[in-house]
Structure 1
Amino acid sequence: MAGEPQADCLFCKIVAGEVPATVVRETETIVAFRDINPQAPTHVLVIPKAHYPDAVSLAAAEPQLTADLLREAGEVAAQEKAVEAGYRIVFNTGAGAGQTVFHAHAHLLAGRGLAWPPG
């Protein structure tokens, strides 16, 4: 069922405390933690605690939770002192776009030049 924890999902296991992560921010609905394979000096994953396979399904089912995720990504950027220099929030959707964990998540990237277009 959408929104329910999935036994085989790495991010659901992080939310449940079954897999360790370096958490930098947590609210009632969101967890933000450092990426284990950072692509920038600041690379934090911001995820909803509820399980949705991607950002579009999250937005369709729970627009307020999607707004919470984006707001908290901004709070993480401020906490990481990335606001003035700028930061990027990226949602990869589907394996062809680089999504490897099918639990909606935003990548917050900062701390280096982020050329456009990416990849």
Structure 2
Amino acid sequence: LMSLPKLVFPGGALVGDDAGFLNAARIKGSHAAIKTGMLAAEAAFDAVQAVRTSDELTAYPEAFKQSWLYTELYKARNFKHWMSKGLYLGTLMVGLEQKLMGGNVPWTLHHQ
């Protein structure tokens, strides 16, 4: 979640693995690809119905932020950062965050 690029640009959108939607903690990405494809398709359909062409599908990133997928990725946002600090520390901290706190931690690890 912390490394997602801008999802839309004039005339197009990034979905699935192209944008980096992957829950690395669960090694799952196909459900994210399907969901983001559906969200982008709905935004594109609405744009076509409104006779809008070659503009940005701003409804797509907004719909993503309101979806269950955003919640899932938000809860797993620190996984790769913890695991980069070593197997034992990473396993301990991910276990603490995911199992004990359900991914609802008040901190976010940032990278450069």
TM-score grouping bracket, smaller chain normalisation? under 0.3
Q: TM-score, normalised by structure 1?
A: 0.25
Larger radius of gyration: 2
The answer to which structure, 1 or 2, has the higher relative contact order (CA under 8 A, 6+ apart) is 1
Please identify which structure carries the higher strand content. Answer: 1
Q: TM-score, normalised by structure 2?
A: 0.26
Please identify which structure carries the higher helix content. Answer: 2
